[in-house]
Structure 1
Amino acid sequence: MHFLALGHNLLAEKKLRIHSNYSGKRFYRRAGCAALLFSLLHQVAMAGGGEESIFLDDVPVVLSASRLSQPINEAPVAVTIIDRQMIKDSGAWDLSEVFRLVPGMYVAYHADPYFSADSTVAYHGMVTTTTSDRMQVLIDGRSVYASLFGGVNWSDLPIVLDDIERIEVIRGPDSASYGANSYSGVINIITRHPAETQGKTMSVAFGKGRKEGIFRYGGQSGALSYRLTASIREDQGEDDRIKKPTSVFTFWNLNKYDNKTIHNLNLRADYQLNSADTMEFQFGYNGGPREVGEYGNVSAISRRAENHFEMLHWRRALEAGGELSVQAFHTVERVYARLKDSDGVSDGDAILRRYDLEVQHTFSPFTNARLVWGGSIRYDQTYAPYYLGVGDNQYLYGDFPYHLRRFFGNLEWRARPDLVFNVGGMIENNTYTGTDTTPRFAVNWHVQPGHTLRLSHSRATRSPSVYEKTYDSYWRSPEFYPGLPEMQTERVKSTELGYIGKYGKFDVDFRLFYDDYSQLIDVRNKRSAAGGNLNAGTAIMRGYELQLKAQLTDKTRLIYGLSGGGVKSDNVNGVIYSDSLPKYSHSLMLSHRVNDQWSGSLVAYQVAQTKFNSTDYNPRENRGYFIDANRRLDGKLSYQFKLDGKAAELSVIAQNLADARYFEYRHDNELPGRAVRLNFKLDM
């Protein structure tokens, strides 16, 4: 209950920013129930003691939380691990769909109608744009957070699901480790080592509006191992017409233009230079024609994506488990587009370039301690005249530069066998908002073998996107609006109390969180456009998350996620943050292997009604701020066999088994109906 008292005190400090008629009684009842559940779990933990060691052999290890390799019960933040088997059993088609299994994550299929016709993946609600720009996303430590609008264009990533080893999702702010834009959480996608993907593999998939072919070859020559993956995908996206429209008007009867063809090529090569040094090289390409837009609004006459990256990563193993590493990467994202809007036909080309260099050193400064520290520099260039609104203005036309410099560190100290401290932070300087410091403190107490409590407090920031900064610098410049405050970073203070435990066959992860947001940016609302403070938004978010994983038998696995909470805000400038976190969301995956040939899985999702920032609010046409609650059921059945002595697998995957017709994010964004596809995979 100490955590609830702390939350009450913090709220009192902010009461002048919240509506005077706000009453937290309903939240405290829900939080009280969550605290009671936590208390019961703790009693279970205390009752489950034994003579075993404090450190259990079967505790998963995470790599991303603090940049140190740590058992998950000693990480300073909550982490969800999505392993290869979870990805496979989920039956996901898009990478974005996998994150529906993460407690607190909101996923909306192809929600963005304007720039990329892509899905929205957002942690902890407060989604004011489809790009969901408050979460950092990495692939093997390489940031794919887009500079133009923020967020991630999931379909433009040069990666296929079968090349992913695991995904670590940091549930909570982590600017202490990954800097600005790790504001609400971090997703780190870790690919498979080439040594684990040797030989030739082919797979094909086809079904309702979907086709895909993948070929992978892995080889080895002495100390060099490599993997080359090529794929082509055709995706017809949403149904052309909305089955249950909210209005008789044509605009609300037609879905977005979201058909796409995706070509992927990915190379990873790892070379063991000697006993201590390893060199890793990666190259990736993603391209192809993409539809974008919607009826009666901005749409593409033609649009094509062309993206590629190159990354080089050198590692040296040091004594006592230390490591020195240098990583450099270069990314180019290109869009070639002819767009049709109310002004006629426009040039929608965009080019985003990124150059990044990072050095990291891990060592033990003294007994029972480990320290990781390092720094990085980044340079971004953004060219997007249409989307930034600069058009043919010669003064504005051209690349928008962005410089970033960072210094980070995290100290892990084992004060006692049962008590671990993590203290760290990031000092960051960027072109747009200057210098920020984001510290974190966490303590993990192994109460009994297999049962751990975690208390942490951190601060995090989000820097403006290029779009936001351009709006602030040019369209609200002092020449036109003297005396306006300059745009600053968004800020959050986050406190959490967590429990990680093992009871019988169940791995339990439970947390209470309290997040205090300030200086929230909005440039899209008319009330803030001319003379308002673009950093005027504030919000208080409180809630709980529960994650259960259980190997019920040697053939049956259960994974369950639950989250809930609430958001209260002064909703300044008409930006609706209040109640933008679903009061509850569930996910449940049950997988079972019948024998060596047959296996199957069922996955269920349920999300409460969710409020979004006036994306299509119109009470006259029965469209409020809330998107109705929804349920979805997916299933997969697989058969493994031999074909000419080679391992083969045939799967039938059905998404949205009940053919549910519901909306995500907007009242004109209807999830596709039942979609069945066949997948055949052969090791050649």
Structure 2
Amino acid sequence: MFSKSSPFFDALRHRGRTFWAAALFIPCFAATASAPGDREEAIFLDDIPVVLSASRLSQPINEAPVAVTVIDHQMIRDSGAWDLSEIFRLVPGMYVAYHADPYFSADSTVAYHGMVTTTTSDRMQVLIDGRSVYAGLFGGVNWNDLPIVIADIERIEVVRGPDSASYGANSYLGVINIITRHAAESQGGSVSLTGGRSRSEGVFRYGGKSGDLSYRITASLRKDNGEDDYIHNPTSQNTFWTLNKFDNKTMQIFNLRTDYQINASDTLEFQFGFNGGPREVGEYKNVSAITRQAENHFEMLNWRRALDGDGELAIKAFHTSEKVDATLRDSDGISDGDIRFNRFDLEVQHTFSPFQDGRLVWGGSVRYDKTYAPYYLGVGDNQYLYGEFPFHLQRLFGNLEWRVRPDVIINTGAMLEHNSYTGNDVTPRIAANWHVTPEHTFRISHSRATRSPSVYEKVYEAYWRGPDFYPALPELRPERVQSTEIGYMGKVGKADIDFRIFYDDYHDLIDVRKAASAASGNLNAGRALMRGYELQLKAPMSDKTRIIYGLSGGGVKSDNINGVIYSDSLPKYNHSLMLSHTFSESWQGSLVAYQIAKTKFNATDYNPTQNRGYYIDGNRRLDGRLNRQFLLAGKHAEVTLVVQNMLNAHYFEYRHDNEFPGRLARLNFKLDF
């Protein structure tokens, strides 16, 4: 994949010498310092959850090198979430805005630690079963276009902090890994019907088994009329600011998963998913779709071989295809809004123990993306920019876990990348976890991470560097961050506590949308310093009652160069509280409350004459869920009532033309057979 004379290896020799040397030589030192038989058993509690996503190694959560929030299947049910994106309101430090994108996909914004200058939230990696769904055109994730049904999700692991050492560029602020249920865990059939204000859905699922082959098929049809047509509390009587976006949508989803146990050592997993249907997009007197039809599908093959000593060899290959057929209306008339995107990815990963008390995961991957979007990528009169835009990526990675002694664990690793946009990069990390007692653990870590330019940003760079503008403009560089955190995980009584403080230094932040950025001579001029804290608490108040609480806050300081606003983009506080209770074997209920302080976003929303400033006011919201389970003709059945925004609050999220709907109630009936 690489030759020793390639620029990739030149980067190894010349970038980040001190930090990278430490990350490389700690494993060598560990191999000589740890002799067989001189270690005691590891110290951890039986009820500590195991996470898979932080370092690519299966680890107790209090031995992971970075903070992780685990959202299990029951939490997903208790949340009453309708959209997948809503679930992340439960994650400390996460900002979620309902259907915030007015132009491209009328989709939600999910962003970690503020830093939201566009609705696409392009600074966080999102995986489904380890498959990247990070979009190529603008970055970020189109949540409503994912070929997945919430009921098929086993759990979600959210890495709260940069994780480029494990997942490369674009794991800049954090990583979301959505893990679906094994086919063997979804046997039998079920049908689910949901109806409510502006929403309806039908889901059919069937799982079976033939010998050593397990399979599951899921099909659903969902209709969502999105936001209310009119804004209830407009900040201006200008017609533009009294109307919500065009965001009605229909989603047809089909998903297939098979898991085949070839022999005692080898397993083969295959997945196929499809999501399609008509989608509205746009807003009053701006870009809007006359017709817009979206179709997305993927195929993934994952082979694993169990090796001696708990080792594993895995090969994963997947293909993703995104297709949009659209006719758009804007100020210039009628335009072709078609989009085509294809991704091909192959990854090999090997896990083994190189020495006693050490585990190492290492591997590599290659990726090829191809994007076609003439409306979004045809900038100005530069017709040569129309066409298909390729992107090539190669990676090598490694992460070592070394148990120095029973109560001290060192995690160190790095990702080496080469891509066709910005060349070579090395993103290392080192972390130490100390079990002061089995119930109390401290963690300190330092890491570096990057974000590569999106296709849109790369095309705009070419536009600004054209002969009519600034041909001497330097080439785009990846965005960079240096992150340091101190964390604590402990058990006080029956309560599990996760607390961390962090300091992140973001620099080389990209802005290609403002002419002032190009005129300044540097599209990578942005910088921001972020300090903050996060608290997560899970506690059983009794055998039948559970409480889950999240709190985060902090501040961002920036020079806000060229009018790109980063200062104070992290809310002063953000609360979430889930209370779930089992009344009896048949009845179960939950209440979920959210509160967020006022938040500052990009200056494009600033207009004092219309009584709108940089800030979006703080808001509160209360959701409720009541579930009744019973037998119907000898089969398990349940009825669930969900009411979101029970207090009927009308508030804005992200922009002053993005008002959350009022009270939304829906009723669900589910029957297993």
Equivalent runs, 1:517-666 vs 2, <5 Å:
517-666=506-655
1:449 Cα deviation after fit:
1.5
Deviation at 1:528, TM superposition (A): 1.2
Could you tell me which residue of structure 2 aligns to residue 217 of structure 1? Answer: 206
Distance 1:282 1:239 in 2: 36
Q: What residue number does 1:103 align with?
A: 92
Aligned to 1:294: 283
Per-residue CA deviation, residues 456-481 of structure 1 (Å, 9 max, x unaligned), is 00000000000000111234236742
Q: Distance in 2 between matches of 1:53 and 1:493?
A: 31
Give the Cα–Cα distance (whole angstroms) in 1 for the partners of residues 588 and 412 of structure 2. Answer: 45
Q: Distance in 2 between matches of 1:634 and 1:500?
A: 29
State the Cα distance separating 1:394 from its structure 2 match. 5.5
Report the secondary structure of 2:241's partner residue: helix
User: Residue 106 of structure 2 corresponds to which residue in structure 1?
Assistant: 117
Per the alignment, in what secondary structure is the counterpart of residue 655 of structure 2? Answer: coil
The one-letter amino acid of 2:71's match is: I
| Alignment coverage as a number of residue pairs | 633
Q: What code does the residue aligned with 2:358 have?
A: A
The Cα offsets for residues 474-518 of structure 1, whole Å up to 9 and x where unpaired, read as: 342367423211110000000000000011110000000000000
Alignment partner of 2:189 out of 200, 203, 206: 200
Question: What aligned pairs does 1:89-238 form with structure 2 within 5 A after superposition?
Answer: 89-238=78-227
Q: Given the alignment, which residue of 296, 321, 327 partners 2:310?
A: 321
Pairwise mapping of residues 62-73 of structure 1 onto structure 2 (< 5 A)?
62-73=51-62
State the distance in 1 between where 2:76 and 2:521 align.
45
TM-score, length basis structure 2: 0.93
Q: Is the 8 A contact 2:378 2:385 kept in 1?
A: no
SS of the residue aligned with 2:431?
strand
Q: Percent same amino acid among aligned pairs?
A: 75
For residues 397 and 534 of structure 1, what CA distance do their matches in structure 2 show?
A: 22
Once the two structures are TM-superposed, the CA of residue 616 in structure 1 deviates from its matched residue by 1.5
State how far apart, in whole Å, the 1-side matches of 2:217 and 2:208 are: 9
Equivalent of residue 383 in structure 1, options 349, 372, 387: 372
* 1:174/1:183 contact within 8 Å kept: yes
Structure 2 gaps, min length 5: 1-40
CA contact (8 A) 1:158 1:266 kept: yes
Aligned to 1:615, the other structure's residue is in SS state helix
Opposite residue 91 of structure 1, the aligned amino acid is: G
Shift in CA distance, 529/301, structure 1 to aligned 2, threshold 3 Å: farther
Task: Determine if contact 2:621/2:646 at 8 Å carries over to the other structure.
Answer: yes
Q: Structure 1 CA distance, aligned partners of 2:273 and 2:133?
A: 12
Deviation at 1:187, TM superposition (A): 0.1
CA separation in 1, counterparts of 2:500 and 2:286?
43
CA deviation map 1:79-121 (0-9, x unaligned): 0000000000000000000000000000000000000000000
Deviations 1:574-607 (A, max 9, x none): 1010000000000000000000001100000000
Paired residues of 2:379 and 2:460 also in contact (CA < 8 A)? no
Unaligned runs of 5+ in 1: 1-51
Q: Distance in 1 between matches of 2:99 and 2:384?
A: 35
The letter of the residue matching 2:505 is D
Q: Does 1:263 align with 2:249?
A: no
Deviation (angstroms), 1:390: 4.6
2:338 is matched with which residue? 349
The separation in 2 between residues aligned to 1:397 and 1:538, in whole angstroms, is 32
Q: Which amino acid in 2 is paired with 1:669? A: N
Deviation at 1:395, TM superposition (A): 2.7
Alignment partner, residue 20 of structure 1: none
Query: 1:282 — aligned with what?
Result: 271
Residue 336 of structure 1, aligned match among 316, 320, 325 = 325
Aligned pair partner of 2:471 in 482, 489, 492: 482
Does residue 450 (structure 1) correspond to residue 439 (structure 2)? The answer is: yes
Match of 2:297 among 301, 308, 311: 308
Partner AA of 1:396 in structure 2: L
Deviations 1:553-585 (A, max 9, x none): 121110000000000001011101000000000
Amino acid at match of 1:458: S
Please say if residues 584 and 608 of structure 1, whose CA atoms lie closer than 8 Å, have aligned partners that are also in contact.
yes
Deviation at 1:649, TM superposition (A): 0.5
CA distance, structure 2, for counterparts of residue 478 and residue 378 of structure 1: 32
Judge conservation of contact 1:307–1:332 (CA < 8 Å) in 2. Answer: yes
8 Å CA contact 1:484, 1:531 repeated in 2: no
How far apart, in 2, do the equivalents of 1:185 and 1:159 lie? Answer: 21
Question: Separation in 2 of the partners of 1:54 and 1:170?
Answer: 23
Secondary structure, in 3 states, of the residue corresponding to 1:251? helix
Per-residue CA deviation, residues 616-673 of structure 1 (Å, 9 max, x unaligned), is 1101111100000000000001100000000000011000000001000000100000
The amino acid of 2:270's aligned partner reads F
User: How many angstroms does 1:545 deviate by?
Assistant: 0.2
Counterpart of 1:620 in 2: which secondary structure? helix
The TM-score normalised by the length of structure 1 is 0.92
Q: Secondary structure at the match of 1:332?
A: strand
Structure 1's consecutive aligned runs of 4 or more residues displaced over 4 angstroms after TM superposition are: 390-394
Contact 1:385 1:391 in 2 (8 A): no
Aligned-residue CA RMSD (Å): 1.1
Give 3-state SS (helix, strand or coil) of 2:459's partner.
helix
Alpha-carbon contact 2:415-2:428 (below 8 Å) kept = yes
